[in-house]
Amino acid sequence: MEITVTEKEQGKLSEKNLDLACQKLSEIGYVIFENLLPLEFVEKVRKEFENNESLPEGEIQRNHFFRGLFLDSYIIDNPIALQIIEAMLGTKFFSFLPYGCNTTRRESRYWNDAEKQWIHRDSGHLFPELGMALPVTKIVVNIPLVDFTLENGATEIWPGSHLIVDPVTEPKTENEALFKDYHVCSEERGSTFPSVRMVMPAGSLVLRDMRCWHRAMPNYTDQVRPMTAMVYFHRLHNMTGIQGENERRNSGIPDSVWQSLSDKSQQIYRFYPMS
């Protein structure tokens, strides 16, 4: 989706483009803004990420993503992303720190015999027994730190698949019960629906309904293909009050980091993640 130079500089979509972005997210399941972040900034983040790739994954997210460029407003409270999220999820949406970072490389544990990740969705439907898709309640925001190409494994996605609600069936095995909302589509079924590859330049911004079918594709290059991943939730996912605002200290966010966050970020990341 294209936006004006003024919108990019001010970090705010016009009413027309905001409506269009929300329409795309509702009908197609995702929206992409190409070249939204400054390339020099993205390059610095990529280098900082690669400098710490030798650390265990949990340590990278817990320690590394709590400092420097990883807490920049371009990433954790991107104004255009938040404008759309607020329009879709309401003013009380929330997220968690540290956020994630998805990567693929030439050799990946995800590839199956066909050298492709299985087709899946990251979140199931609320009340699937109704047989209809409800409005979105979970949105993931991705920022590619390198160009996404066919060669390095640009994500494959099925437009409109977030609206597909399958009949509710009882899982036959424990493993099926564990992944019933995740691994939802066979290769044969996926081939009957049109899919696209999310080819886009570094520094683009992607908002995706987490119910969309998608998968990582093989990376045939020697360069790691990383992108940041932040999940935003509608307030109904915490209506029980399990994740209390007074329990932020349990999240592991250092006080110095918390005090450095803007008021907006403190509001968004006010809950501690449940294990």
Query: DSSP for 18-77?
Result: HHHHHHHHHHTSEEEETT-S-HHHHHHHHHHHHTTTTS-HHHHHHHGGGSGGGG-HHHHT
188 burial (CB, 10 Å; 0-12 / 13-18 / 19+) is exposed
Taking the C-alpha atoms of residue 44 and residue 41, their distance in angstroms, rounded to an integer, is 5
DSSP code of residue 94: B
Tokens 């992607």: give the residue. 206
Whether the per-residue pLDDT at 54 is higher than 90: the answer is: no
The answer to whether 197 touches 158, Cβ cutoff 8 Å, is no
Whether the per-residue pLDDT at 242 is higher than 60: the answer is: no
β pairing state of 156-157 and 138-144? unpaired
Helix axes 79-89, 15-27, angle to 10 degrees: 60
Q: Higher-confidence residue: 203 or 64?
A: 203
Taking the C-alpha atoms of residue 85 and residue 31, their distance in angstroms, rounded to an integer, is 12
Query: pTM of this prediction?
Result: 0.89
Query: What letter represents residue 200's amino acid?
Result: M
Render pLDDT for 172-203 as a digit per residue (tens, 0 to 9). 565 555 555 566 788 899 999 999 999 999 99
CATH no. for 20-268: 2.60.120.620
**Closest Cα partner for 271 from 34, 97, 118?**
97
- So what's the pLDDT on residue 93? 95
- So what's the pLDDT on residue 160? 97
Q: Peptide bond before 135: cis, by omega within 30 degrees of 0?
A: no
- Domain boundary assignment for the chain: 20-268
Q: What is the mean pLDDT of residues 40-56?
A: 82
Whether the per-residue pLDDT at 250 is higher than 60: the answer is: no
Max CA separation in the chain (angstroms): 55
12 burial (CB, 10 Å; 0-12 / 13-18 / 19+) is middle
DSSP code of residue 4: -
Percentage of the residues of the chain whose pLDDT score is greater than 90? 60
